Amino acid sequence: MSHLSLSPLLDFVLAHRPALAPLIADQTELRTLANLLPGLPCAGLELRLATGEAAITDLQLGLCSQADMHRLCDWFQQHWLAASQPLPDNWATLGRALESSLDDIPIRELWLELDGGSGDPWPPLSLFIGLDLEASSKQLESQLRAWLEKMGAAISAPLVAGLQRCLAACEGPQRLTHFGWMPGRSGSALRLIIDGCTWETDTEFLARAGWSGDPDAWRNTLLPLQSDIDRWRLAISLHEDGSVASSVGLECFVGQPTEHDPRWARLLQQGMQQGWWSSTSANALREWPGPLSPASARSAWPDALLLDALIDGDDPPSTLNLRISHVKLLYDGRTLGGAKGYVGFARVRPTTSKLQDDLTAPRAGHANSATEAAENGLQFLLKSRSPSGWWQDYDGFREGISDEWVSAFVASAVLASRLPAGLPAASRAWSLLAARGRNGWGWNAVQPPDADSTAWALRLAFALGHDQDNMVKQGLAFLADHLVCEDAAKGGVTTYERYHHAAAGGDPGCQPGWFEPHDCVTAAVAYLAVTGGHETLRETVSYLQRQQQPAGDWLGYWWLDSAYATACATQSLASAPDPASRNACRKAAAWARNSLTQCPINDLAPFALALRLQVLMQALDPTDAGLLDLGCRRLLATQLCDGSWPAGAKLTIPNSHGQVVPALDNRRTMTTAVVIQTLALLAAQRVQ
């Protein structure tokens, strides 16, 4: 197997992604680079994306296991040492380092990078090493220095001091995850990759690390990116004198690198508008992600993969996952530019299904009161945000994860809990939502805006005092367009309106029911009419009064359980002054009371239980105290050790094929938000 180079595997992949061809100036040179490396099924390309920049392509090979290391060592013996051209020092040193024992230097991954454009038979070679994520700063320094010593690299005392300063600058979640050694490149030979930075903390880290740039200019330059990336890493270079280079690389990620995320389309469009890359570059990246399998391939499956499958006993054979890793922008002290894209492929072996650890198992948070449990839940929510400040949930859909709807809902619940630590996070969520620049909000930025997401975003804005913002006014006009005016359903609000849906590129063949009025959506909108005095939405109140079921609940189009729609409707109507609304709230409380007494509370998931308790509390009936106390104690007992509650916000999404697709908040953000809001209300009523 060691005689197979990377070249046939790379040719196979590129043949299936012709859109990448314009970004590769010299296919022959790239093939030559690939012939220097073994055919390991984990590789990547560094692509120049900037308009007018030379189309130089660097080749990367990933090693993720000791077996991969051994294969590279075999390749060194059989090919590099046997080559007619003498090895440059850094190539020979790498081979000798790999032959020595690496057990004393824990690494997660190692990437070899060959620079294109040199024309040399042995091009410049760089190493990027993924360090132990659990190591302390001292251990990381030791690991890095040990690697450099194995590579024969002299590290000066000033450079050691600079490294120590950067490691000490990492606080909280910030940490050194990779370092790069680039002896073949001019300028700084040592690159540090820092993960865990956030919008609030990156400038503080850079200052502690010794960066001399202007933090305000940095932050202002990054503003166009803030709402379109989930997380980023800082790439800083150290000079021989230990100083930090003035230019800083910003590695931008959307979703998880191992999975295709359609939200990349938003960032790619943004990059074209900012002039960071061309439409050709954006299209090449957009077309790259996706799986390749023996069944879908247009040519013979590569020999290297067939041999791997035979040796590993894979049946069915493994597949290739083509993915975007990230894009990198260089900040030169004034502007962002020098865009590069990092795409790659990795072998995915078939897996046998295993039972996952049951989150409902007894791992309680042991809170002693509703207030303590709510505060623990809030800490979970604060930690679960993306570094940019989004709450995200409902993974696994081809439409992408939800960030706009989930962030608007969770932030609104956090504000309603009135826990002081939640205010900055809720404010950050609104700033991200406002930066999206659409007339309304939706599941995420690449899906059409809808009335439900828009209602929750506006509720958040009003709670924060942003009712006069232009985005709010546009959102209210958007909601008015979704208000039904016909007699039969007058006052109902549709999730989608056909014109807006089509204009935003929505699927023309989607379920027709999406364009009908929905109680769960109307209930969220009605709160704006009642508390914000928006007369154009006033008919939503009458609609809800007419739609209440005989049992006292309201039906949710998008939800498995009627508790969500009922809680939203009750919250809205409880603030209305008319007797009909008060009567509807009493009927809803009777429904909740009956539901909680007829079904054992212990049989209800925390999400469903919390919503019923919210409805019951609206009645303000002293005789409900025992039932509320029982429900509160059940919520305390089901809290998990990380502060969250088991996922229970179950959606049922009708699709265009007449099927109902279930969805669960597998990151537990929606459930936890509802429960902490409920516990805060219980604490306010002194139900402990």
Eight-state DSSP code of residue 319: E
Eight-state DSSP code of residue 545: H
Q: Residue 361: inside a domain, yes or no?
A: no
pLDDT at 521 over 90: yes
Whether residue 267 is found in the same domain as residue 408: no
Residue 576 in contact with residue 639, Cβ under 8 Å?
A: no
Residue 172 in contact with residue 147, Cβ under 8 Å?
A: no
Q: Which of 283, 317, 348 is the last residue of a domain?
A: 348
* Helix or strand run (H / E) with residue 149: helix 137-150
Whether residue 275 is found in the same domain as residue 423: no
Outline where DSSP puts E strands in 170-228.
Answer: 175-181, 190-195
Q: Residue 111: inside a domain, yes or no?
A: yes
Q: Alpha carbon of 118 to those of 44, 57, 111, 217, 293: distances in Å? A: 19, 11, 19, 35, 34
**The domain spanning residue 379 has which CATH number?**
1.50.10.20
Q: Alpha carbon of 324 to those of 115, 282, 435, 447: distances in Å? A: 19, 12, 24, 20
Within 13 A of 686's CA, how many CA atoms are on the CB side? 1
Whether residue 397 is found in the same domain as residue 317: no
Name the region of 555 (left: φ>0; alpha: ψ -120 to 50; beta: rest).
beta
Summarize the confidence of residues 76-81 as an average pLDDT. 86
Summarize the confidence of residues 676-682 as an average pLDDT. 97
pLDDT at 238 over 60: yes
Whether residue 331 is found in the same domain as residue 424: no
Q: Residue 561: inside a domain, yes or no?
A: yes
- Higher local confidence (pLDDT), 624 or 487: 624
Whether residue 337 is found in the same domain as residue 419: no
Q: Residue 624: inside a domain, yes or no?
A: yes
What is the per-residue pLDDT for 308?
82
What is the per-residue pLDDT for 632?
96
Whether residue 647 is found in the same domain as residue 589: yes
CA distance 517 to 190: 59
Summarize the confidence of residues 443-471 as an average pLDDT. 95
Summarize the confidence of residues 453-458 as an average pLDDT. 98
pLDDT at 81 over 90: no
Whether residue 458 is found in the same domain as residue 330: no
> What's phi and psi for 674, nearest 5 deg?
-65, -40
- Number of domains present in the structure of the chain: 2
CA distance 336 to 325: 19
Residue 266 in contact with residue 228, Cβ under 8 Å?
A: yes
Unique residue bearing structure tokens 């608007």? 408
Tokens of 68: 């991969």
| Among 365, 373, 366, 363, CA closest to 676 | 373
| Cα 244 to chain centroid, rounded | 29
* Helix or strand run (H / E) with residue 308: helix 303-312
- Mind listing the pLDDT tens digit for each residue in 533-567? 788 899 999 999 999 999 999 999 999 999 999 99
Q: How confident is the model at residue 362 (pLDDT cuts 50, 70, 90)?
A: very low
Domain region containing 99: 7-348
> What's phi and psi for 494, nearest 5 deg?
-85, 150
Q: Residue 103: inside a domain, yes or no?
A: yes
Q: Which residues neighbour 67 within 8 Å (Cβ) at sequence distance 6 or greater? A: none
The pTM of this model reads 0.88
Q: Are strands 175-181 and 125-131 parallel, antiparallel or unpaired?
A: antiparallel
| Among 293, 298, 345, CA closest to 314 | 293
What is the per-residue pLDDT for 94?
79
DSSP per-residue string spanning 327-363: EEEEE-SS-EEEEEEEEEEEEE------PPP-TTSS-
Helix runs in 495-534, H state only: 498-503, 519-532
Tokens of 22: 């314009």
Q: Which of 134-138, 419-423, 450-454, 662-666 has the lowest mean pLDDT?
A: 134-138
Whether residue 136 is found in the same domain as residue 233: yes
- Mind listing the pLDDT tens digit for each residue in 270-320? 999 999 999 999 999 999 999 999 999 999 999 888 888 877 777 667 889
pLDDT at 2 over 80: no
SS3 breakdown of the chain: % helix, strand, coil, rounded to 5?
A: 45, 15, 40
Summarize the confidence of residues 346-365 as an average pLDDT. 56
What is the per-residue pLDDT for 417?
96
Q: Which of 295, 318, 348 is the last residue of a domain?
A: 348
Eight-state DSSP code of residue 510: S
Q: Which of 317, 348, 379 is the last residue of a domain?
A: 348
CA distance 638 to 486: 45
Residue type, 451: A
Q: Residue 353: inside a domain, yes or no?
A: no
Q: Residue 302: inside a domain, yes or no?
A: yes
What is the per-residue pLDDT for 447?
93
Residue type, 510: C
Count other Cβ atoms within 10 Å, centred on residue 208: 15
- Give me Rg for the CA atoms of the chain: 28
Whether residue 130 is found in the same domain as residue 197: yes
Q: How confident is the model at residue 352 (pLDDT cuts 50, 70, 90)?
A: very low
Helix runs in 436-489, H state only: 451-463, 470-481
Whether residue 337 is found in the same domain as residue 439: no
Tokens of 250: 């910003």
| Among 116, 120, 80, 121, CA closest to 97 | 80
Whether residue 571 is found in the same domain as residue 649: yes
Residue 326 in contact with residue 251, Cβ under 8 Å?
A: yes
Q: Residue 1: inside a domain, yes or no?
A: no
Within 13 A of 222's CA, how many CA atoms are on the CB side? 30
DSSP per-residue string spanning 154-172: ---HHHHHHHHHHHHH--T
Whether residue 430 is found in the same domain as residue 328: no
